[in-house]
Structure 1
């Protein structure tokens, strides 16, 4: 798959009005960073790589999303005309991109088939996790209900007013601070502090992104680091910020403070006219999800203030971390 074609596909996905968690999921799916048993085993985790739904088959993305009985039933229920286990010699990435381009070329941004295709992928992943973590074996009825619920979530997301994601604060902020502020309120204090960082070198296409969150109430910490493909350190930094916000939003936090050592990311969030083209779509998603919080402040800090996330990102880039499920 040629890099220009891959870039085109991600421009399409980043331009779609779909939930940010879907975009993060697709990013991880494309980069083979989901916590499938095959990926966990490849990372040195002492675990069988067998598919939870069909033993003796390795749970690769190709198997889970195309060849597994769970997948074939899900695609039949989707009514998209996809026979996922045909032409099994085609790689999963080529198969994924071919269908995304097919539906986009038919319908553009306004069609229903591309969101339903993405919703079916998400449904397969959620049903697989229900089997692994809750021992709920998904049959046709469960898959059908889950897909309906996922599509309803998408419809609800589309029904939200599309507000301008201009930061509330245009001034330089307090002395020594550079901030971009989003949300419905400028006043208040955060429930959560999140430090984010990316780790990238120009001699490898792999990057590590990481975040470490600490609650204000009881000082408990939680973090995540993953390995992705990235063209630049700047993209890795922006993706770390987006991944942290998606997690915080999913945990129902309403007031969050994000600390990054990237001045370019914060300046670009404050003033879209200055943003680098390479991270335009990622910054757009950060603004979009930032507006969904009551109070969301992204602040430029010194490297020492994101040291935990920095160390975690380096370990992720080097493949020293196990994968974490969405």
Structure 2
């Protein structure tokens, strides 16, 4: 019993007894567990929920985590933590997610779910259509991959399982920041998927050249989207915002005296928001004031605007407004104004 490892008076761990009974690694793990503040009976605790109660959906989540543990134990696992912020088309990110978590509706998966469908590959009409076969092992897919000179760059290889190969290729390109190669890789995958859908659902006539044309068109779109910097409107998720300035009042050639930064955070569940702002002296690069408060907001943008509003009110009370400009940074909105006493 766990209670046998506790000191009867204080309820703390009996360190000497634990180190006597268990190896050092196990003893250290036991001693690292935090003890309850009061004496309570032992109970079953489910680690996948905050309150320790068992839920079926958390059991399914735990199964998925174990099933796809390879993705998290990969040497380049840090790449996946920022995968959704990569400078590639959002369509491709969704495709990769569905491939890696076996949710792409290929014929094999649909048949497994009880949907009456012909699971034969629409390209070769020989083998069943699985994710690996569609994107790599089909003769047509192999021809498409071999149509380009990859040199030392990785491409999906047959000796490895497709999921391992797929994740390894993406991880390699992300690690080296080879965005053009990543465009080419996803362009071919996306062209295969689009053509497969056209053939299966609309009986479209295709050729290897037509698929390659689709692939080139899409990776060209991804490259142009990444280089796009003329407008703030409709920039795809994962691409950086250009830095622009617009004068709202006063002379833009007057050097800045004080800069104001602001930020807001919003809880969608209860509409609570927290906002803050600070002022920086441009001559000394030191903070000269600021503020924060809790409030209610209808959206994340609303919280940002409230932070700006209260910051400007603070500035009007503390400084005499001289001129202001709006700036949009790469990852967060920031405004600055020049003020004098």
Q: TM-score, normalised by structure 2?
A: 0.45
Which of 1 and 2 has higher RCO (CA within 8 Å, sep 6+)?
Answer: 1
**Bigger radius of gyration:** 2
Q: TM-score, normalised by structure 1?
A: 0.47
